[in-house]
Amino acid sequence: MNKEDIKKKEEHEDDYIEEEDSDYDPNAIINQDSEFSESDNDNETIQNNKKRNFSKNEEKDTEIEVKRANYNSIENSEGGLIKTRSQRLQEDKLGKQFNINTLTLQTNTNINELWESLKSISNQRLKIKYSSNNIISSNNNSNQLNSKNLIKIKRSYEYAGEIITEEKWVNRDSAEAKAYINGLQNPLDLETNNSNNDNNDNNDNDNDNKNPNVNERGEKLRRIKKRKPLLEGIINGSIKPKFNTLEKSRVDFAKFVDKEGINDELIHHNKDGYLSKQDFLSRVEFHKDQTIKEIRKKELNNKQNE
């Protein structure tokens, strides 16, 4: 459309008067609008009623399905039954009770078995202990007749700032006696060392009674004492050696073995130990060396005779 046509149309609309137009009916327009609005309202009510009826039918269908449904047969994606919270709680309670019952049964059986085994072991040890104590007491009573079977252990040592002295008679075959003999530098002089220690104690008492530092007039004499050498004092026993923790534990363990009477058990079980194997190998090598030496001697003697 051109600009001129647009202008003509606008002028025509301005010149138009509704009252002069015979075809114009405003009531008809209002009636048409009311009819259209009523029809729209009727359509909306019909649709709402249909929706309500459909929702009611769905609710009835769901109620029927719920009544017919069997929730015990519902399964999840992994194939197991889906359980409610209450069912899970009940299963957890039952599982805990089952675990508690099984644990109590196991613990009761284990405790009873352990108790019986400990009782049997303690009874065996008590028998060995009483038998060993009876043997030691009988040996102590018959000390004069069987003096060769007993050893007098007399030791004084410094440990943890304390001076400890021990003196007792012990069976020669006991673990404590063996430990004492192994600790001596010369085990053959065991009895002589004991007698020398007694004599030294008596001589010290006599010298104390004589009081050599006092003059005939009763005046005290000033005397310079010579310092004794350290090694001679240790050998003679005048200087008390210091025990380290290793030696002290060795002595205490030997006492415990004699007290509990388990020396035979230790000897039996130590056959498979490292030290026993090393001793066995050293004995085998020594025997080989002796046989080789004897063979060489025989060969030399044969050559000389020829």
pTM score, two decimals?
0.28
- Mean pLDDT within 196-210: 50
- Mean pLDDT within 208-236: 62
**Is residue 138's pLDDT more than 60?**
no
Domain ranges of the chain: 150-199+230-266
pLDDT at 290: 92
User: Which of the four pLDDT bands, split at 50, 70 and 90, describes residue 302?
Assistant: confident
pLDDT at 287: 92
Of the listed ranges 154-158, 208-212, 260-264, the least confidently predicted one is 208-212
pLDDT at 247: 78
- Mean pLDDT within 256-260: 85
Q: What is the pLDDT of residues 81-132, one digit of tens each?
A: 667 888 888 888 888 777 776 666 655 556 777 788 888 887 777 777 666 5
Mean pLDDT of the chain: 68
Residue 137 vs residue 121, higher pLDDT: 121
User: Could you write out the DSSP letters of every residue in the chain?
Assistant: --HHHHHHHHHHHHH--TTT-TT--HHHHHHHHHHHHHHHHHHHHHHHHHHHHHHHHHHHHHHHHHHH--GGG-B-TTSSBP--HHHHHHHHHHHHHHHHHHHHHHHHHHHHHHHHHHHHHHHHHHHHHHHHHHHHHHHHHTTTTTGGGEEEEEEEEEETTEEEEEEEEEETTSHHHHHHHHHSS-GGGHHHHHHHHHHHHHHHHHHHHH-TTB-TTSPBP--PPPPPPHHHHHHHTSSPPBP-HHHHHHHHHHHHHHHHT-HHHHHHHGGGSHHHHHHHHHHHHHHHHHHHHHHHHHHHHHHHH-
pLDDT at 8: 67
